[in-house]
Amino acid sequence: MSTSEEDPSTTLFREYLRIRSVQPEPDYDGIVRFLFRVAEEIGLECRKLELGPGKPIVTLTWKGTQPQLKSIVLNSHTDVVPVFEEFWTNPPFSAHKDKDGNIYARGTQDMKSVTIQYLEAIRRLKAKGHKFPRTIHLTMVPDEEIGGHEGMEIFVHHPEFRALNPGITLDEGLANPKEEFSVFYGEKCVWWITVYCKGDPGHGSRFVENTAACKLRSIINHFLDLREKEKKRLKSDPSLTLGDVTTVNMTKVSGGVSCNVIPTEMTATFDLRIPPTANLKEFEAEIEGWCRAEGDQVTWVYHQKYMNQRVTTPDDSNPWWKAFSDPCKELGVKLNPEIFPAATDSRYLRQAGYDALGFSPMNNTPILLHDHNEYLNEDIFLRGIEIYTRIISSLASVPPLDGEQ
């Protein structure tokens, strides 16, 4: 199919993918120009805010007929992770589409598809003359891929975000290789910890006692034993997903100055992702117990230690969930409510007290975020617009809730 015959939504998606908003030097200026142009075409109010230099936050608004009601916030991030071009079959920012309709580019799944699905769903609704009581805001934030520290982490506490008066926020999810669609109502707590082990130095030919390496081995064994335990638990229980268990990975090891010198210090860093059902205080005590057992020459530092375990209730007692899930049922979209196995900007939203659901409407699709040859099929992408059109309509039509005027 030539570009002239292509669905205009697909053409817009591919244009967005070609903007190299790749870390560590994302083209945020190009992103802003693109979003403002599309917003003007659709008829949305546009605002830009910078809470960090060169880190624009774009907000697009479709005002409701009862703007005092809590709003619908459709969030997405504008940056993408780096690429190793030698491992890609096609250039990663060419948005190449093959004969099967698979569109290859960095950001197809994470998460430029969702941004365009939001915009095209709203374009369709406005074109049909729809009006809704609740205001709809689209927020496009920077730097999610490097922690969101100059994006959503500070934006969620800014007066301009609070002025949006959010009722429910939608954000990114994951592809699902099966027929079902994953929707995420909570996230794991991310802990990054480095353990420092000091010991006695000496010549590499001797059995020196009290070495840093012996202490470090004990620490590593504790962490990797936990890894194996959780891995077996996941494999032995089909009802569990990756979001239900604690993942443990050793990500850095350092120490030593020469092949024949026993070092005075060695370190190891671990990446832990802990489900919100865990007792974090008990888990913390267990980890620090492993370290203390090796003596006072073992210390540790947390680079990140997320303690908030708030989730969004995924059942019909929550009117936002009901308004989200009902149109999915009508469309025959089977939802799998899950805990997100990694981390997104939703953690900042939930920590600030807002309901948030992570949803990227991609089923029958391998999970390829951050991978080489990331792609999304055109038909899956276009179906996602249809799904979002129904979801947004339903959310924006929720009647006044308790406490709303």
Question: What SS3 class is residue 95?
Answer: coil
Beta-sheet strands, E only, within 227-297? 247-255, 261-262, 265-274
- What does pLDDT average to over the chain? 96
Question: In the structure, what pLDDT confidence band is assigned to residue 403 with cuts at 50, 70 and 90?
Answer: confident
From the list 132, 39, 145, 41, the residue with the least C-alpha distance to 83 is 145
Residue 1 is predicted with a pLDDT of 44
As a whole number, mean pLDDT of residues 78-99 equals 97
Q: How many CB atoms lie within 10 A of CB 266?
A: 24
Does residue 231 register a pLDDT over 50? yes
How many other C-beta atoms lie within 10 A of the C-beta of residue 189?
22
The string of pLDDT tens digits covering residues 200-216 is 999 999 999 999 999 99
Q: In sequence order, what are the residues at sequence separation of 6 or more whose Cβ sits closer than 8 angstroms to the Cβ of residue 312?
A: 185, 186, 318, 320, 321, 350, 355, 356, 357
Per the CB < 8 A criterion, the answer to whether 191 and 306 are in contact is yes
**Domain residue ranges of the chain, discontinuous segments joined by +:** 3-187+311-396, 189-275+277-305
Question: Is residue 345 a contact partner of residue 77, using CB atoms and an 8 Å limit?
Answer: yes
405 vs 67, which has greater pLDDT? Answer: 67
171, 110 Cβ separation under 8 angstroms: no
**Cα–Cα distance between 64 and 133 in angstroms, integer?**
5
Residue 296 pLDDT more than 50? yes
Q: Which two tokens stand for residue 260?
A: 């024949």
How confident is the model at residue 2, as a pLDDT?
46
CA angle 62, 68, 69 (to 5 degrees): 80
> Comparing C-alpha atoms, which of 399, 397, 378, 400 is closest to residue 120?
378
CATH number of 3-187+311-396: 3.40.630.10
Q: What is the pLDDT of residue 404?
A: 87
Distance in angstroms (rounded) separating the CA atoms of residues 69 and 167: 8
> Among 188, 272, 280, 295, which Cα is nearest to 223's?
272
- pLDDT, residue 405, reads 67
> Are the folds of 3-187+311-396 and 189-275+277-305 the same?
no
pLDDT of residue 102: 98
Q: Residues with catalytic annotation?
A: 79, 144
pLDDT, tens digit, for every residue of 145-171?
Answer: 999 999 999 999 999 999 999 999 999
* Cβ-proximal residues to 324 (8 Å cutoff; 6+ apart), any chain: 168, 170, 183, 357, 359, 391, 394, 395
List the one residue out of 32, 63, 34, 37 whose CA is nearest residue 50.
Answer: 32
Question: Quick one: what percent of the chain has pLDDT higher than 90?
Answer: 97
Q: Which residues contact 10 (CB under 8 A, 6 or more apart)?
A: 97, 103, 378, 381, 382
What percent of the chain shows pLDDT beyond 70? 99
**pLDDT interval class at 219 (50, 70, 90):** very high
- Say if residues 227 and 249 touch (Cβ distance below 8 Å): yes
**pLDDT recorded at residue 4:** 56
The count of other CB atoms within 10 Å of the CB of residue 33 is: 12
Rounded distance, CA 336 to CA 184, Å? 8
- pLDDT above 90: residue 5: no
Per-residue pLDDT reduced to its tens digit, 127-136 = 999 999 999 9
Predicted local confidence at residue 66, as pLDDT:
97
Candidates 3.30.70.360, 3.40.50.150, 3.40.50.720, 3.40.50.300; correct CATH number of 189-275+277-305? 3.30.70.360
Distances (CA, A) of 342 to 197, 222, 370: 28, 22, 12
pLDDT exceeds 90 at position 382: yes
Q: Three-state DSSP class for 266? A: strand
